[in-house]
């Protein structure tokens, strides 16, 4: 694998790499390694164009729908406060300006000087600051932003919000605002599951407060793990962009069902049949559909990915569970079946671990075919208006995809090559051939996020054409 030192790149290359890394939720070093591995590092004068001319980015900030918007970031007093440094950096990359309010407890974890140096703006912390309050500063702060973000939102801060306390600048701003509020909870798992926190969360949700996270993982406390980790900065950014996105919603009012990830078909309590699907493509498509205004139901097999924001996610394990949830979600205008469903399952799942019988060779395993979810939808009485399937193939890509299109009564099949020569399942790139009754479209290799965007644009154009031609 080639090596690279990012600091030695020229400024334009570094900026382009920084933007691409932020867009994909990775560090610059990781993004550089992936680019080198794929042998797709463009020449410096073209590095701003990542896929084609239509996806170019500004050299000073990322061209996102939320660019130019303002947020007020309230930093609570938890160890996760350090993540806000990265959050502020990512906001700046996207052209989103932030003003920062810190609680007194937050200053025990991150200094105002660190925030000010990174954000190039004053940090607000004191409700009785003479300079800030001469014009009722807490009211001004609460109204000037397009969105208020609380990260980390501690149990104490959530309790204040839910019960209307206003005894410091942060809680007073939250009481005085008329703008949307997004909170990123962060606390010990037992605090998150405490009845008081559960009550407060329900109150906040009824009041229209939106949540991102928390995630499951290791805690700062030694030996502690569970649900309570603050969402990662890129997840919070994604929620912020969705909330600030005022772009047209061509799929508004349409329900879409998406499947994603693998399925796990149990053999015994410790073994299962599966494949290498990561769920990245399905999750990206679900999120892109949501951004286009669709009401999205994502039925996901076991994956190591956060749930997409503003998408209803249903977690399943087996093919039969996935089929049941998909059919329960009908009727729908759009269905995109991305999941790599296991073709077979064991006819008899063992109640106990199957043990090796020394010297007698492997135990025979009887298999039966799993339900074909895509085919089932193609022949369903509530068949979606636009039914799209995926075909991961290793040879004769177009031939196999065309057969699948006809046999399963789909409208489109998106075929991708997962052979060892081209790439394996679970990667970050995809190269698509879209097959329909009209023929074959070949898309260039691009990130899975860009595949999702292109597909959703194609879906929107399809329904626009359908509507105008009637």
Q: Are residues 48 and 191 in the same domain?
A: no
Residue 362 located in a structural domain: no
Q: Are residues 153 and 253 in the same domain?
A: no
| R_g (Cα) of the chain, nearest Å | 25
Q: If 0-12 CB within 10 Å is exposed, 13-18 middle and 19+ buried, where does residue 167 land?
A: exposed
Residue 360 located in a structural domain: no
Contact 170, 103 (CB under 8 A): yes
Residue 416, domain CATH: 3.40.50.10300
Q: Are residues 40 and 80 in the same domain?
A: no
Q: How many domains does the chain have?
A: 3
Residue 62 located in a structural domain: no
Residue 284 located in a structural domain: yes
In angstroms, the first-to-last Cα distance of the chain is: 55
Asked if residue 214 has a cis previous peptide bond (ω within 30° of 0), the answer is yes
Confidence (pTM): 0.61
Contact 188, 228 (CB under 8 A): yes
Q: Are residues 262 and 307 in the same domain?
A: yes
Q: How would DSSP label each residue in 172-237?
A: HHHHH--S-EEEEE---HHHHHSHHHHHHHHHHHHTT-EE--PEEEE-SSTT-EEEEEPPPHHHHH
Residue 64 located in a structural domain: no
Residue 61 located in a structural domain: no
Contact 411, 436 (CB under 8 A): yes
Q: Are residues 233 and 257 in the same domain?
A: no
Catalytic, out of 10, 126, 200, 275? 275
Residue 214 located in a structural domain: yes
Contact 42, 33 (CB under 8 A): no
Contact 430, 222 (CB under 8 A): no
Spatial separation of the C-alpha atoms in residues 464 and 249, rounded to whole Å: 12
Q: Are residues 229 and 195 in the same domain?
A: yes
Active site includes 126? Answer: no
Tell how far CA 356 is from the center of its chain.
41
Q: Are residues 81 and 170 in the same domain?
A: yes
Q: Are residues 97 and 199 in the same domain?
A: yes
Q: Are residues 197 and 280 in the same domain?
A: no
Host domain of residue 208: 70-243
**Residue ranges of the alpha helices (H) in 71-136?**
83-93, 112-119, 130-133
Q: Are residues 225 and 261 in the same domain?
A: no
Q: Are residues 234 and 254 in the same domain?
A: no
Q: Are residues 98 and 208 in the same domain?
A: yes
Specify the pairing of strand 70-75 against strand 97-102. Answer: parallel
Length of the chain (residues): 470
Residue 351 located in a structural domain: no
Identify which of 231, 221, 73, 45 has the alpha carbon closest to the alpha carbon of residue 147.
73
Q: Which residue, 189, 215, 243, sits at the end of a domain? A: 243
Q: Which residue, 243, 268, 283, sits at the end of a domain? A: 243
Residue 173, domain CATH: 3.40.50.1950
Tens-binned pLDDT, residue by residue, of the chain (470 aa): 344 555 556 666 766 776 676 656 566 666 676 666 554 433 333 222 223 323 333 333 444 556 578 889 999 998 899 999 999 988 888 888 888 999 999 999 999 898 898 888 888 888 776 565 544 556 778 788 889 999 899 999 999 999 999 888 998 889 888 889 999 999 999 999 999 999 999 999 999 999 988 888 877 777 777 888 898 888 888 888 888 877 788 998 999 999 999 999 999 999 999 988 999 999 999 999 998 999 999 999 999 988 887 788 999 999 999 999 999 999 999 999 999 999 999 998 888 888 887 767 777 889 999 999 999 999 999 999 999 999 887 777 778 888 888 889 999 999 887 765 545 566 778 888 999 988 999 998 889 999 999 999 999 999 986 554 43
Identify which of 412, 414, 420, 424 has the alpha carbon closest to the alpha carbon of residue 452.
414
Q: Which residue, 243, 272, 295, sits at the end of a domain? A: 243
């Amino acid at each position: 694998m080639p090596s690279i030192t990012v600091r030695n790149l020229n400024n334009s290359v570094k900026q382009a790499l920084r933007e691409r890394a932020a867009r994909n939720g990775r560090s610059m070093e990781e993004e550089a390694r992936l680019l080198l591995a794929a042998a797709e590092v463009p020449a410096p004068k073209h590095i701003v164009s990542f896929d084609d001319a239509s996806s170019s980015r500004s050299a000073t900030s990322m061209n996102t729908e939320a660019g130019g918007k303002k947020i007020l970031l309230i930093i609570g007093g938890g160890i996760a406060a350090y993540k806000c440094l990265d959050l502020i950096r990512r906001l700046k990359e996207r052209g989103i300006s932030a003003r920062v309010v810190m609680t007194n407890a937050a200053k025990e974890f991150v200094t105002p000087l660190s925030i000010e140096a990174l954000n190039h703006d004053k940090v607000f912390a004191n409700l009785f600051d003479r300079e800030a309050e001469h014009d009722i500063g807490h009211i001004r702060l609460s109204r000037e932003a397009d969105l208020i973000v609380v990260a980390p939102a501690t149990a104490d801060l959530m309790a204040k919000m839910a019960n209307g306390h206003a005894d410091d600048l942060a809680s007073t701003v939250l009481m005085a605002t008329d703008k949307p509020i997004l909170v990123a909870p962060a606390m010990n798992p037992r605090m998150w599951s405490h009845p008081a926190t559960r009550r407060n969360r329900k109150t906040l949700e009824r009041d229209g407060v939106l949540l991102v996270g928390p995630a499951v993982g290791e805690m700062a406390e030694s030996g502690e793990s569970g649900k309570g980790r603050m969402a990662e900065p890129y997840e919070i950014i994604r929620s912020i962009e969705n909330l600030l996105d005022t772009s047209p919603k061509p799929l508004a009012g349409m329900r879409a069902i998406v499947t994603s990830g693998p399925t796990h078909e149990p053999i015994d309590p410790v073994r299962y049949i599966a494949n290498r699907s990561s769920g990245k493509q399905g999750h990206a498509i679900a999120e892109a559909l949501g951004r286009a205004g669709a009401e999205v139901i994502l039925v996901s097999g076991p994956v190591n990915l956060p749930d997409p924001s503003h998408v209803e996610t249903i977690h399943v394990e087996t093919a039969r569970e996935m089929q049941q949830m998909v059919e329960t979600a009908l009727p729908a205008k759009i269905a995109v079946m991305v999941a790599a469903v296991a073709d077979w399952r064991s006819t008899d799942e063992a109640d106990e671990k199957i043990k090796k019988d020394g010297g007698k060779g492997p135990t025979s395993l009887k298999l039966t075919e799993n339900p074909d979810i895509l085919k089932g939808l193609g022949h369903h009485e509530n068949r979606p208006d636009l039914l799209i399937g995926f075909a991961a193939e290793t040879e004769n890509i177009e031939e196999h995809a065309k057969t699948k299109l006809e046999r399963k009564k789909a409208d489109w099949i998106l075929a991708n090559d997962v052979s060892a020569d081209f790439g394996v399942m679970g990667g970050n790139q995809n190269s698509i051939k879209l097959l329909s009754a009209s023929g074959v479209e070949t898309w260039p290799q691009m990130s899975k996020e860009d595949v999702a965007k292109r597909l959703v644009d194609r879906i929107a154009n399809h329904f626009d054409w359908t509507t105008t031609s009637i």
